[in-house]
Amino acid sequence: MKGWMAKFRALLLFGSLTLVLSGCGKENLSALTPKGYGAKSALDLINISLAVMIFVFIVVMVIYAIVLVRFRKKKGQEDFIPQQTEGNKALEVIWTVIPIILLVIIAIPTITITFDLADESAAGDSINVSVTGNQFWWHFNYEGEEIQTSQDLYIPTGEKVYLNMKTSDVLHSFWVPALSGKMDLHPENENTMFIQADEEGVYDGKCAEFCGTSHSLMDFKVIAVSPEEYEQWVEDMKNVDPEAQPESADAQEGQQLFQENSCIGCHAIGSSPAATGPNLTNFGDRTTLAGVAEHDRDTLIEWIQNPESIKPGNRMSDANYEVSEEEAGKIADYLLQLQPSDITPESATSNE
């Protein structure tokens, strides 16, 4: 099947080219610049159906244009009474049968790809990650690895990573357009999908099921690194010492404050599966704060003091703590130095 699809892709190169010229959206975000298995399959299907539908549209428009040019009421013929045609069997059969054939052309790859993308036969031998959706952040628990991350999902390139997804509150939908289509998260049933990145990169992920006030701010990242780098990352993450003492004095004080203010009650550091709030084990390696804001000290201080200003309706806004700006700065120092691994989003972008 892949063979004729490749030909088809070549055929549509021209069409795609026009799209590229008019802008296909941001690399690593847009579904029109696929970098993974699911997104490529989906784009094939989109192209097939689009081609058939453009054909249909052209046929309709040609008849439409002829009708409008030829059959306008003419001057001097105001009383002309056209023939009252009842219908035409042959024509009606044609425009019933041909659409059916066209639909079959779309239906066959639809079914093939739908089943292909739902294939879970390899799940047992693959990396499995439990994904939990929360208002308004994502949690990733690497099954069997004792690794927890939030907001950043590290995966190796070139293989299927299975995501077993559930929500802790309302519905969410996991969508990384450049890698794969989306799948909803429900509170009662686990949904499984796989993603596979063919190229290294930092991919933008979004929540695609309306989930409340900050639905539009629930971004996350998928960081696809080479399999070797991934191995190393797993190794580093497994050996994290959650109590490791930071180097600078400020950060040490920050660590103290982090515990005194019971931040740790919600935000685990290390592989504790408790995740009332995002896990911060590799917080220093993240590229965005809360998915959408600048990842720097000042923004982090603002976040600690007034998270509502960055992400309305998030649950940290209701948390009971009080820190001064100076204290927040020290906590920020502590959090920003949490960089347990040399494998960072930069590793995914540097060796291209």
Q: How far is the CB of 303 from another protein (least distance, A)?
A: 16
Distance CA 71, CA 180 (A): 49
Distance CA 114, CA 220 (A): 25
Q: How far is the CB of 139 from another protein (least distance, A)?
A: 17
Q: Which is nearer to another protein, 62 or 244 (CB)?
A: 62
First to last CA, the chain: 30
Q: 13, 103, 244, 249: which one contacts another protein (CB under 8 A)?
A: 103
- Contact between 125 and another protein by CB under 8 A: the answer reads no
Q: Which is nearer to another protein, 92 or 228 (CB)?
A: 92
Distance CA 254, CA 251 (A): 5
- Contact between 42 and another protein by CB under 8 A: the answer reads yes
Report yes or no: 179 and 36 within 8 Å, Cβ to Cβ: yes
Task: Give backbone dihedrals phi and psi of 226, rounded to 5 degrees, phi first.
Answer: -65, 155
- Contact between 100 and another protein by CB under 8 A: the answer reads yes
Report yes or no: 348 and 292 within 8 Å, Cβ to Cβ: no
- Burial of 13-38, coded b for 16+ CB within 10 Å and e otherwise, reads eeebeeeeeeeeeeebbbbbbbbbbb
| Residue numbers 157-186 binding another protein by CB under 8 A | 169-171, 173, 175, 177-178, 180-184, 186
- Contact between 7 and another protein by CB under 8 A: the answer reads no
Q: Which is nearer to another protein, 42 or 257 (CB)?
A: 42
Give residue for tokens 């399999």: 227
| Residue numbers 242-261 binding another protein by CB under 8 A | none
Reported as half-sphere exposure (CB side, CA atoms, 13 A), residue 299 has a value of: 13
Q: How far is the CB of 312 from another protein (least distance, A)?
A: 5
Count of residues in contact with another protein, rule CB under 8 A = 96
Report yes or no: 223 and 288 within 8 Å, Cβ to Cβ: no
| Residue numbers 20-39 binding another protein by CB under 8 A | 23-26, 29-32, 38-39
Distance CA 351, CA 226 (A): 10
Q: Which is nearer to another protein, 109 or 254 (CB)?
A: 109
What is the x/- site pattern for another protein, positions 62-81, by CB under 8 A? Answer: -xx-xxx--xxxx--x--xx
- Contact between 11 and another protein by CB under 8 A: the answer reads no
Q: Which is nearer to another protein, 106 or 319 (CB)?
A: 106
Query: CA gyration radius for the chain?
Result: 27
- Contact between 332 and another protein by CB under 8 A: the answer reads no
Name the nearest CA neighbour of 162 among 138, 127, 186.
127
Distance CA 251, CA 349 (A): 29
Q: 227, 298, 312, 324: which one contacts another protein (CB under 8 A)?
A: 312
- Contact between 324 and another protein by CB under 8 A: the answer reads no
Q: How far is the CB of 292 from another protein (least distance, A)?
A: 6
Q: Which is nearer to another protein, 36 or 329 (CB)?
A: 36
Report yes or no: 140 and 130 within 8 Å, Cβ to Cβ: yes
- Contact between 95 and another protein by CB under 8 A: the answer reads yes
Q: How far is the CB of 317 from another protein (least distance, A)?
A: 12
